[in-house]
Amino acid sequence: MNEFEIVRRISDELPQAPPEVLVPIGDDCAVLRLGERDWVAASDMLVSGHHFKGWATPEDVGYKAVAINVSDVAAMGGVPRFVLASGGAPDPETTLRCFRGILEACELFGVYPLGGDTTRADALTVDVAILGELFAPPVLRSGANPGDLLAVTGDLGASAAGLLALENGTSGSQRLIRKHLRPEPRVVAGRIAAGLGVGAAIDLSDGLASDVRRLCAHSGVGCRVHLDLLPIASDTRAFLESLGRDPGILAATGGEDYELLISAPEPTLDALAESVETPITKIGEVADGVGVFFRRGDEPVENLSGWDHFSS
Amino acid sequence: MNEFEIVRRISDELPQAPPEVLVPIGDDCAVLRLGERDWVAASDMLVSGHHFKGWATPEDVGYKAVAINVSDVAAMGGVPRFVLASGGAPDPETTLRCFRGILEACELFGVYPLGGDTTRADALTVDVAILGELFAPPVLRSGANPGDLLAVTGDLGASAAGLLALENGTSGSQRLIRKHLRPEPRVVAGRIAAGLGVGAAIDLSDGLASDVRRLCAHSGVGCRVHLDLLPIASDTRAFLESLGRDPGILAATGGEDYELLISAPEPTLDALAESVETPITKIGEVADGVGVFFRRGDEPVENLSGWDHFSS
């Protein structure tokens, strides 16, 4: 039983949703109508030893727990507004340092911390729940249509490269390490994409190879992704090649980029690219059927997959 | 540095609250105005080895994580509506069992699960964030006035007795064990108390001795609590006496009763007692000053304190 199977089984046992719930569990966020506004809600948990090792400071962990939730809101086209943050740590000093990272991220992303909980735990553990506000209809995973193009924001593989740098104790890759420890979710791009009415979006947390399959499964479509088109920054490429790693494969499978994968007709993607500072790179096409194919030049690339929290 | 000190230090570093935040961090819940309605929000985390041992099943832990959040909403006079639940567990089966307990509690309390996260963790860890709806002004910790009486819902010490039964492997105390593992928060009493305009309330999670101090500190008042008046059920009393424990002391210091402590003028408490099925028992008086005094007959009882997650 992997993480998807757990979520599927839990979803099967859900009660009938009350009328305020416009989109239930299963997307990046749920969507709620409260008063006249629509809101998105999600939560994400980070656990020491699984999501991070000793190279992440408690401040880094607190920061990242907020950032990955902000990314879920960004993927729906929402504006992050409020968080609740619970932290378990071996000692009070670690707790306080972790909450300083939480507050730092809240300030950076304009999110207000409503409260939370502190407790003792052997492994530093942070869970953040977020409420975001929608100013346009939410962008779901299920709206990709055959004929759409697929595009990503920013660049891929930098976080995976930063993780390798941390694991290897390599210095001189500060941007890559920062992309891993202190991701900056694409809130502006997500909000503008929602305003333009893009078809579908998902944030890249578990790696493109996993997340594009998820988006296609929700939409009932297939796709082709061209590894040669993936945006890989020159420092990412140089660092990965210095380790003998394949940058294209890492960009397709490495997790935690917290970029957005967007499906939309080409003119909509062009309009998005003109409206945001973040580069928007077309990487593939949505097609009829259910196959998700990766290609490099004319060659198929098989068996690409991202991260699963219970099988890895 | 204890839990209170951590919360105080974090609170000192909070940014300016946006206009929707009517009550920030520091009460049982924060209060938010979203549209025309007011909402309360809170989160609580449970960690294996600290909040529970091997005698609690994963279903129990999931249930309780929801219940303790429902109790926070009840203390504000709110109606629990939505939760986000994140669970970390050593294996997928434990995760699934924990989420079944979460869903069971959601159904019992009429709460809808919006989503959450599952991940691997060495120790079973559950964090639940809750949104509750207010139909009357929220009941805060800060509204106790000299001349008010203090009252509690239900009975005290049963959860602490149930915990002792579990730790000692004692059979034949099923109600006490159930009070510990499957608490039923006082949502109806809290909602009616809010409608009656009681002065202040707090839920009893860390033990009366700690929680009454917290309520008095928020209100800038003192109080006298009479241990002889604490409502202790006959099975609780008999079980604790069989272990050579003092029922009055356990009722004052044992945590996790998830009853409500309410401060209000006597006529308001009488009206509450007539309106709810749950017994309402007067246990003391609010007074000027800052002293919190416990008495048994005419004798002062010193050094009573409840649970602190970092000093115990």
The answer on pLDDT for B268 being more than 60 is: yes
Instruction: State whether the Cα torsion B60-B63-B66-B72 is positive or negative.
Output: negative
Asked if B143 and B219 count as a contact pair (C-beta separation under 8 A), the reply is yes
Q: Does the CB of A2 have a partner CB in chain B at under 8 Å?
A: yes
CA dist A139 and A63 (Å) reads 25
Residue B60: its H or E element: helix B58-75
Sign of the Cα torsion A78, A83, A88, A94 reads: positive
B18 touches chain A (CB under 8 A): yes
How far apart, in whole angstroms, are the C-alpha atoms of residue A270 and residue A95? 45
* A81 close to B (CB below 8 A): yes
Mean pLDDT score of chain B: 93
Neighbouring C-beta atoms of residue A91, cutoff 10 Å: 12
**Model pLDDT, residue B4:** 67
A80 touching B, CB under 8 A? no
**pLDDT band at residue A15, thresholds of 50, 70 and 90?**
confident
Q: How far is B75 from chain A (nearest CA, A)?
A: 15
Predicted confidence band of residue A311 (pLDDT cuts 50, 70, 90): very low
What's the mean per-residue pLDDT of chain A? Answer: 93
Site from B127, B128, B203 to mutate, A interface, most A CB atoms within 10 angstroms? B127
pLDDT for B305:
77
Provide the 8-state DSSP code for A203: E
Q: Is A115 on the interface with B (CB under 8 A)?
A: yes
DSSP B85-119: EEEEESSHHHHHHHHHHHHHHHHHHT-EEEEEEEE
CA distance to partner chain B, nearest, from residue A291 (Å): 27
Q: How distant is the Cα of A289 from the closest Cα of chain B, in angstroms? A: 29
Of B7, B82, B91, the CB nearest to A118: B7
How wide is the angle at C-alpha A192 spanned by C-alphas A191 and A195, nearest 5°? Answer: 90
CB contact under 8 A, A50 and B123: no
Residues 202 through 231 of chain B touching chain A, CB cutoff 8 Å: none
Indicate yes or no: CB of A50 within 8 angstroms of CB of B119: yes
| Model confidence band, residue B105 (pLDDT cutoffs 50, 70, 90) | very high
Instruction: Give me the residues of A, 86-105, that contact B with CB < 8 A.
Output: 86-88, 91-93, 95-96, 99-100, 103
Q: Do A30 and B127 touch (CB under 8 A)?
A: no
Residues of B (264-283) whose Cβ lies below 8 Å from A = none
Q: Is B22 within 8 Å of chain A by CB? A: no
One-character DSSP codes across B199-265: SEEEE-SS-HHHHHHHHHHHHT-EEEEEGGGS---HHHHHHHHHTT--HHHHHHH------EEEEE-
Q: Which of B204, B201, B198 is nearest to B179 (CA)?
A: B204
B114·A35 Cβ contact <8 A: no
Q: What is the predicted ipTM? A: 0.92
Q: From CA B104, how far away is CA B64, in angstroms rounded?
A: 10
A104 closest CA partner among A60, A58, A63, A56: A63
Query: Is residue B308 within 8 angstroms of chain A, CB to CB?
Result: no
Q: How many residues are listed for chain A in this entry?
A: 312
The sheet with strand B299-301 has its strands ordered as: B200-203, B260-264, B149-153, B280-287, B222-226, B292-296, B299-301
Distance CA A222, CA A204 (A): 18
Query: Are A122 and B118 within 8 A, CB to CB?
Result: no
Q: pLDDT class for B35, splitting at 50, 70, 90?
A: confident
| Tens of pLDDT, residues B202-256 | 999 999 999 999 999 999 999 999 999 999 999 999 999 999 999 999 999 999 9
Q: Pick from A305, A310, A24, A118: which is nearest to B118 by CA?
A: A310
Q: Which residues pair with A293 in a beta bridge?
A: A224
Half-sphere exposure of B270 (CA within 13 A, CB side): 3
CA distance B202 to B153: 11
A121 contacts B86? CB cut-off 8 A: no
| Residue B4 half-sphere exposure toward CB, CA atoms < 13 A | 11
Give the pLDDT score at B311.
47
Of A88, A75, A110, A107, nearest to A189 (Cα)?
A75
Reading the block at residue B251, the tokens are 């009722």
pLDDT value for B16 = 85
The Cα–Cα gap between B199 and B142 comes to: 8
Chain A residues touching B103 at Cβ < 8 A: 10, 13-15
Chain A to chain B, count of Cβ pairs less than 8 Å apart?
A: 211
Task: Report how far residue B260's alpha carbon sits from residue A5's, in angstroms, rounded to the nearest whole number.
Answer: 39
Q: How far apart are CA B220 and CA B112, in angstroms?
A: 37
Distance CA A6, CA B117 (A): 10
Computed over its alpha carbons, how large is the radius of gyration of chain A? 19
The residues facing A174 across adjacent strands are: none
Helix (H) or strand (E) holding A68: helix A58-75
What value does the mean pLDDT take over residues B48-77?
A: 94
Q: Do B127 and A86 touch (CB under 8 A)?
A: yes
